[in-house]
């Protein structure tokens, strides 16, 4: 499916990653899910549990991470714009690459779309390398085929070190 075909009013299934390591991360992530669920053109279908994970990048606190599956009637770029607006609503400021943040929302998958533009790549270019994405995603979408590798999420999660991903009880 191309981005243009998403304009025809059809719905698409999407996967997003959520993360936070500043402030009350649990409250922020739960509130962000509520905002997402109330956003026009977005239906929250299912969400994963939350997981504590080590940060990638400069020294910073551990992250609370999870994933959610959405059904949307938005184009990939319109969905990205909505995700960025929600990040901003929760105080996200982009100061340094991979720095600490109040809220991070990443668009991982959009049906079977492969998109490579200056401001958006689908599938997310690093998702297959990141246990903090694959563990919660495998919980809610184990059979979803990542379109570049052609492998199911359940297969991809077996290729990464998951030892630093801890379920929040």
Q: Which of 84, 86, 70, 78 is nearest to 12 (CA)?
A: 70
Q: Note down the domain range covering 159.
A: 4-167
Sign of CA dihedral 128, 133, 135, 137: negative
CATH code, 154: 3.30.70.560
| Higher-pLDDT residue of 158, 93 | 158
| Annotated active-site residue in 24, 47, 62, 92 | 92
Distance CA 57, CA 100 (A): 9
| Helix (H) or strand (E) run with residue 65 in it | strand 63-72
d(CA 27, CA 25): 6
H helices present in the chain, as ranges: 25-37, 76-89, 131-140, 153-157
**92 included as an active-site residue:** yes
* H-helix segments, 13-149: 25-37, 76-89, 131-140
* Total domains in the fold of the chain: 1
| pLDDT over 90, % of the chain | 80
**Residue 5 pLDDT level (bands cut at 50, 70, 90):** very low
Which one of 24, 47, 95, 106 is the catalytic residue? 106
Quick check: is 13 catalytic? no
pLDDT digit string (tens) for 13-58?
A: 999 999 999 999 999 999 999 999 999 999 999 999 999 998 877 7
Active site residue 101: yes
Q: Tokens standing for 21? A: 């390591």
Active site residue 24: no
Catalytic residue among 94, 97, 101, 111: 101
């Amino acid at each position: 499916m191309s981005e243009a075909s998403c304009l025809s009013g059809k719905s698409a299934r999407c996967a997003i990653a959520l993360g936070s390591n500043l402030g009350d991360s649990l409250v922020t992530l739960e509130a962000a899910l509520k905002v997402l669920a109330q956003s026009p053109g977005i239906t929250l279908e299912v969400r994963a549990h939350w997981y504590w994970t080590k940060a990638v990048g400069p020294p910073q606190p551990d992250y609370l991470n999870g994933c959610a599956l959405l059904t949307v009637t938005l184009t990939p770029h319109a969905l990205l714009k909505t995700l960025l607006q929600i990040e901003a609503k929760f105080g996200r400021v982009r100061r340094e690459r991979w720095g600490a943040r109040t809220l991070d929302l990443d668009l991982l998958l959009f049906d079977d779309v492969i998109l490579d533009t200056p401001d958006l790549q689908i599938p997310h270019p690093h998702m297959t390398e990141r246990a903090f994405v694959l563990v919660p995603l495998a919980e809610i979408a184990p059979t979803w085929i990542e379109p570049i590798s052609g492998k199911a999420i359940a297969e991809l999660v077996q290729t990464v070190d998951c030892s630093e991903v801890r379920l929040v009880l």
